[in-house]
Amino acid sequence: MKHATDSQKDMTASADALTGEIREQWAADAAAKAKEKMGEWHVSDGDAAEAMNALNSLPKEAQAGALKKLDNKTFDTLLDQVDEDRHEQGFKTLVDNCDDPERKLKLFGAQHKSHQRNEAERLNDKEDTGGLDFWNDTKQQDAAESRQEKRETIAKTTSKEIDEEIKHLQDEAAKSGKPIDMKAVNDVMARKQLESQIEMKHAVNLTNDKQGDETRDRAAWTKGELEEVQKTLDKLPAEHVAGNKHLHTINRMAQREEDKSKKIEGDPVADHLKGHINFYGLKKGDQANVEHHRMKGIGSIQGTLTHEIGHNLHGGDYAKEWQELQDQAGWEKHEKSAVKGAMKTAGATDDEAKAAMKKMEDPDTNEPVTIGNRVFIKNQYGKWVSRDKGALPEELKNKSADQAHAGDWRYCCNNQADHFAEMYTKMVHMPDETKKALIDLPEQKVTAASTLVATEQASVDALKAAGQGPGDPDFDQATEDLEAQKKELAEAKDNAARQAEQHKIMKDKVMAK
């Protein structure tokens, strides 16, 4: 029995050795074929394709060996001469099976550029952009044409980005005096493949961009950050991203050195300008691991990106809905010279208005000031604005900002633009809790106020039954209390109606489009 077992082991070893020799010969033959075709004085597209096919015809175990047998000139000629449209499929298995980091990186670069171009064409061919009579195109056809243009731009910028990624890894390796690390190559591949999926699905360009500012360090999206971007965009209505002709890029940028000391550590830094959303680096850590500071349980990139897309929407296709929100809150802009007058109109004395403005102009004491039925604000942009008291859930702040009501609402209450952007963010990520804040909580206030009116009315009725009337101190006080409660009830109903209307605008006109 032992002899049979030993014999079987010997046979297996011999078979493995023979298989290895066969693979080695296959690899040598394929490499020789490639060298032959790439060594011509004039390499035709057919020659290049034949060389590529020879390598692709090998089993995956032999492809790595064949690639190793190619000299640098043959390898580089292969990359240059194979038609770019064929790189996507022709280089895919070579990328998968290459075990040389430098060559794997170059193969991936060529393959990925081709994939982006071809994928853009495939998706664009499916779009209905209307006919030659473009003046009759529907809104959907206009959006489809915009998607086509954005995908074409994405494919072009991908080519530059890949070249930069390759150069960066090569430069880092040269600085260290060590070869390019395979893990670094695999990380770049995973990151760029995920980035491509997001870009093509949502027709928005994800870039690593200094925007011409050479004072910034190099920055790149991490895979974790891209996963957060993907989660965010997948939650949004398609019309807000892929169908949004006003949204072009989401950029990952480094902070300038002089900005780093001004930023709060752990707080994401982003902005939006003319269809371009910029995410800046943190002093430490991956943004994807930072919890959003206004909505617990929501990643900072998810919360912040949604907020910035909200700004993009109110500046584009949802300007009408934005104005409707502003009307419900009673927003007004004020020049500094007119603030004191507006405060006096709301019920402040001259001295009270002066004191309020002085307090608000001091960064250490600047808080919204309520005068009569108006709330006055000097916002983070240095602008003076005001709105109607109670038209927003302004009491949901600090310790009162429980997550059952979608977290902290102060940012939403701070200015007209953030009113839309922050309410949009809450509707996307915490729709049920937002409904509680805008509908359920105000209705509870109406119920409570109604109960107090009934109580005060009962007191007046009891005094009447006891024979009291106008002129009697107790009766007059009870009547005054009743009127005050009726006023509070009317205000509670008005505020409930306004907040319910804002919820309806966001739910039925913005989120449902």
- Is the pLDDT confidence value at 126 over 70? yes
Q: How many structural domains compose the chain?
A: 1
Q: What percent of the chain has pLDDT over 70?
A: 83
pLDDT at 508: 97
Evaluate whether residue 224 is within a structural domain. Answer: yes
Spell out the alpha helix ranges (H) of 82-181.
Answer: 84-90, 92-97, 101-125, 139-176
Q: Which residue has the tokens 């590529």?
A: 52
Q: Which residue has the higher pLDDT, 384 or 209?
A: 384
Please name which of 388, 387, 406, 384 lies closest in space to residue 397, comparing C-alpha atoms: 406
pLDDT at 7: 45
CA of residue 148 relative to chain centroid, distance: 21
Residue 205, beta-bridge partner list: 249
Q: Which residue has the tokens 């473009």?
A: 134
- Is the pLDDT confidence value at 68 over 80? yes
pLDDT at 285: 46
- Is the pLDDT confidence value at 260 over 80? no
Q: What percent of the chain has pLDDT over 90?
A: 61
pLDDT at 283: 47
pLDDT at 232: 95
Here the tokens at position 133 are 């009579």
Tell me what the mean pLDDT of segment 8-14 comes to.
43
Residue 58 CA to residue 136 CA, distance in Å, equals: 54
Q: Which residue has the higher pLDDT, 229 or 266?
A: 229
Spell out the alpha helix ranges (H) of 39-83.
Answer: 45-56, 60-69, 72-81
pLDDT at 82: 87
Evaluate whether residue 368 is within a structural domain. Answer: no
pLDDT at 37: 57
Tell me what the mean pLDDT of segment 311-315 comes to.
96
Domain enclosing residue 236, as ranges: 204-317
pLDDT at 12: 43
Gyration radius of the chain over CA positions? 33
3-state helix, strand, coil in the chain (%, to 5): 65, 10, 25
- Is the pLDDT confidence value at 323 over 90? yes
Evaluate whether residue 266 is within a structural domain. Answer: yes
Q: What is the pLDDT of residues 430-467, one digit of tens each?
A: 999 999 999 999 999 999 999 999 999 999 999 999 99
**Residues 154/120, Cβ–Cβ less than 8 Å:** yes
- Is the pLDDT confidence value at 481 over 70? yes
Residue 273 CA to residue 32 CA, distance in Å, equals: 55
Q: What is the pLDDT of residues 150-165, one digit of tens each?
A: 999 999 999 999 999 9
Mean pLDDT of the chain: 86
Indicate which CATH number applies to the domain containing 241: 3.30.2010
Buried b / exposed e over 113-133, threshold 16 CB at 10 Å, is: bbbbbbbbeeebeebebbeee
Here the tokens at position 494 are 């008005």
Residue 326 CA to residue 314 CA, distance in Å, equals: 11
pLDDT at 18: 37
Question: 289 pLDDT band (50/70/90 cuts)?
Answer: very low
Tell me what the mean pLDDT of segment 36-59 comes to.
73
Q: Which residue has the tokens 């853009």?
A: 120
Evaluate whether residue 47 is within a structural domain. Answer: no
Would the pTM of this model clear 0.75, i.e. be above it? yes
pLDDT at 142: 85
pLDDT at 427: 96
Q: Which residue has the higher pLDDT, 75 or 258?
A: 75
pLDDT at 128: 86
Tell me what the mean pLDDT of segment 193-221 comes to.
85
The amino acid at residue 175 is K
- Is the pLDDT confidence value at 265 over 50? no
- Is the pLDDT confidence value at 300 over 50? yes
Q: Which residue has the higher pLDDT, 15 or 500?
A: 500
Evaluate whether residue 264 is within a structural domain. Answer: yes
Evaluate whether residue 239 is within a structural domain. Answer: yes
Evaluate whether residue 71 is within a structural domain. Answer: no
Q: Which residue has the tokens 């604005």?
A: 385
Evaluate whether residue 344 is within a structural domain. Answer: no
